């Protein structure tokens, strides 16, 4: 019985910490390593063919991230993002997309 209580408590803490992070797109942008390829400002990509994402439509950004995560999009540079998307939850995708859409292009 104690082990079940411990597991429930651990799951609650994990969910609470994920929820706390999910609301902060700026923090997620750094923590999920978006800055490594897209630049701190979202418009200074590491490679010339990586997209400048600052100011992009939130629904478009969310769709691209979700498609890369699911494998529905596997073209272009999506392989570079595939490894990162496994650590990004659906709620975080939404928060990241909202944050990116508000970045100054």
**Where exactly are the structural domains of the chain?**
2-102
More confident: 97 or 9: 97
Q: Is the pLDDT of residue 19 over 50?
A: no
Token couple for 2: 């104690």
What does the pLDDT read at residue 50? 95
Report pTM.
Answer: 0.77
48-101 confidence digits (pLDDT tens) = 999 999 999 999 999 999 999 999 999 988 999 999 999 999 999 999 999 999
Domain 2-102 has CATH 1.10.760.10: yes
Token couple for 71: 């494998």
How many CB atoms are closer than 10 A to CB 93? Answer: 22
Q: What are the CA-CA distances from residue 61 to residues 34, 41, 104 (Å)?
A: 13, 15, 15
Q: Is the pLDDT of residue 15 over 90?
A: no
């Amino acid at each position: 019985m104690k082990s079940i209580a411990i597991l429930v408590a651990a799951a609650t803490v994990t969910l609470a910490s994920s929820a706390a992070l999910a609301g902060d797109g700026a923090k997620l942008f750094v923590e999920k390593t978006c800055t490594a390829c897209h630049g701190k400002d979202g418009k200074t990509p590491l490679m010339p063919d990586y997209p400048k994402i600052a100011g992009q439509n939130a629904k478009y950004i969310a769709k691209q991230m979700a498609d890369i995560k699911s494998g529905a999009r596997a073209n272009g540079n999506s392989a570079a993002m595939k490894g990162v998307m496994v650590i990004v939850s659906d709620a975080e995708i939404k928060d990241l997309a909202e944050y990116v859409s508000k970045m100054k292009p």
